[in-house]
Amino acid sequence: MAEDSPKRRKANFNEAETEVLIEQVLKHEQLLFAAGPGRASPGQKRKVWELIRHKVNPVAACPRDVEDLKKRWRDLKRRDRSKLCRLSQGCGPPGPAATLGLFLAPEEMPPAAAPPA
C-alpha cells in the first residue's frame, strides 16, 4: 500500500543545516567551484559533497542527499543575487561582495559576523 501513497516532500532546511552547509561549502569553495586548468575532477568534487553531506546530516531534520545540498546551495546563491539586485537596482552581474557569500541579512547573521551598525 505504501507504493500507492503520493510521495511526500522533505522538511525544509532548518537554520542549523543551512549554517553548516554554508560554512562547509565556503571552506571547500576553491575545490568545488574553481575554473581553469587547476580545477578538481568530478570524482574529487563528489567526495567533497559527500563530506559536506556527512557534516550536515547530524543536524538535519531528515536525511539529506548530495542533490538536496546542491539544490539548497543554488537556491541560496540565487536568493543572494536577487537581494543584491534589489539593493543596487541595476540587476547586472554581482560585484565582488557576492562571491564572499552575503547569504544572510545582518539581523540573520551570528553576532560575531554581523557588521557594526
The C-alpha cell at 85 is 539586485
- pLDDT values of the chain reduced to their tens digit, one per residue, 117 residues: 456 678 888 899 999 999 999 999 999 999 999 888 888 999 999 999 999 999 999 999 899 999 999 999 999 999 988 877 777 765 555 544 444 445 555 555 555 544 554
Stated pTM of the model? 0.67
- The string of DSSP codes covering 74-117 is HHHHHHHHHHHHHHHS--SS--HHHHT---S-TTTS-TTTSPP-
Range 13-86 has CATH code 1.10.10: yes
Q: How many Å apart are CA 21 and CA 39, to the nearest integer?
A: 21
